[in-house]
Amino acid sequence: QVIKCKAAVMWEANKPFSIEEVEVAPPKAHEVRIKIVATGICRSDDHVITGGLVMPFPIILGHEAAGVVESVGQGVTSIKPGDKVIPLFVPQCGECNSCLNTKGNLCSKNDIGSGAGLMPDGTTRFTCKGKAIHHFIGTSTFTEYTVVHESAVAKIDSAAPLEKVCLIGCGFSTGYGAAVQTAKVEPGSTCAIFGLGGVGLSVVMGCKAAGASRIIAVDINSDKFAKAKELGATDCVNPKDFKKPVHEVLIEMTGHGVDYSFEVIGCTETMTAALACCQYNYGVSVIVGVPPAAQKITFDPMLLFTGRTWRGSVFGGWKSKDSVPKLVADYMKKKFVLEPLITHTLPFTKINEGFDLLRTGK
């Protein structure tokens, strides 16, 4: 059956979300239809609105969520109606070279790079006012019901609180994994984190869990510092307080630069600063923030020649289908907290207010 429900449709760039009645088609073979219970707001959704991440309009955004399976298409055996699940914006098909390589996690079936805005079969499951509406990176969670491919959904513990574990669908896993999985931070090391939004704070937690002895949090909004310290930051730096470039400040603070740095903003200037602040011979810098479209970085190659490593990390380097249920289990065992990352809880119809809070740094 087609389901009629509410969704936040983005008709064009730089406009507010429009709460509309949409029709959600039933799942086709190897697809799953999910009732979304809770969804987080992530800066990557906002990047689409502003054009920093290029996707086709009209579109239903949202990619960090948790819900309950409503129905499944033909051939779906791993998941059944009633299961609690988290949609995966990085799928895990289990067959492509990234899925088959122990070092890889960015399944070739992902829609991040191509930005087609469609299901794997090249069609959409959403219609509104007679128009086809695009999907967003295979998830589209700003709707009461969505359809995802079987490779893009993880079944989780039925006791998990969906309004909290939805963060494991993106923000928490992306940040925490960048530290423990991509960088593999070691005990006693020094780390710098540029950007203290939900993902940056999750990097702080990952560095602390890995046993880092010094965790330097960097942000131009000093209001973020109290929470960063609560989650494990040992020092906080506001670049606006200094006349010299922030990478020089960090090198002076540590004597030789940090062992690991993380750029969790998505800004080319901070990407270069994060590279420059890590130890010149064995420092590792990880890009976690989504790079802005059509921008290029110019940097002195000597920064890399001396031995630094520059890495990227999508979804914290986790193989999604394998790791998300384990991360939920770890949360249930209290191995990490999610509550401090939740600043506001709003009804779905107030989604535009939620984005205003994101944009004002609240």
In this predicted structure, the answer to whether residue 262 has a pLDDT above a threshold of 90 is: yes
What stretches of the chain adopt beta strand conformation (E)?
Answer: 3-9, 18-24, 31-39, 65-72, 84-87, 126-128, 131-133, 145-149, 153-155, 190-194, 214-218, 235-237, 260-263, 284-287, 309-312
Q: Categorize the per-residue pLDDT at 255 as very low, low, confident or very high, splitting at 50, 70 and 90.
A: very high
**pLDDT value, residue 113:** 85
What local confidence, expressed as pLDDT, does residue 293 receive? 87
The average pLDDT across 52-78 equals 97
Task: Name the E strands within 18-150.
Answer: 18-24, 31-39, 65-72, 84-87, 126-128, 131-133, 145-149
pLDDT in tens, 209-226: 999 999 999 999 999 999
The whole-number average pLDDT for the span 162-187 is 98
Question: Coil, strand or helix: which one is 186?
Answer: coil
The reported pLDDT for the residue numbered 96 is 97
Tell me the sheet residues that pair with 242: none
Positions of CATH 3.40.50.720 in the chain? 183-312
Q: Residue 58: is the preceding peptide bond cis (ω within 30°)?
A: yes
Q: Check: CB of residue 90 under 8 Å from CB of residue 315.
A: yes
DSSP structure class, residue 178:
I
Dihedral sign of CA atoms 302, 267, 169, 33 in order: negative
Q: How high is the mean pLDDT of the chain?
A: 97
pLDDT in tens, 6-28: 999 999 999 999 999 999 999 99
Q: What pLDDT is stored for residue 7 in this prediction?
A: 98
The C-alpha atoms of residue 265 and residue 174 are separated, in whole angstroms, by 13
pLDDT value of position 294? 85
The model's pLDDT over 307-352, given as tens digits with 9 standing for 90+, comes to 999 999 999 999 999 999 999 999 999 999 999 999 999 999 999 9
Query: Which pTM value belongs to this model?
Result: 0.97
Which helix (H) or strand (E) element contains residue 227?
helix 225-230
DSSP of 293-348, one letter per residue? Answer: TT------THHHHTT-EEEE-SGGG--HHHHHHHHHHHHHTTSS--GGG------G
> Residue 114 pLDDT more than 90?
no
Instruction: Determine the residue type at 317.
Output: G
| Percent with pLDDT over 70 in the chain | 100
Q: For residues 175-199, give the mean pLDDT.
A: 98
Domain with CATH 3.90.180.10 in the chain: 3-171+317-360
Smallest Cα–Cα separation from 181: which of 327, 311, 283, 318? 318
Q: How far apart are CA 99 and CA 303, in angstroms?
A: 32
Give, in words, the CATH class of 3-171+317-360: alpha beta
Give the CATH H-level superfamily of domain 183-312.
Answer: NAD(P)-binding Rossmann-like Domain (3.40.50.720)
* C-beta separation of 290 from 47 below 8 A: yes
Which residues does the annotation mark as catalytic? 42, 44, 47, 63, 170
pLDDT band at 86 (very low <50, low <70, confident <90, very high): very high
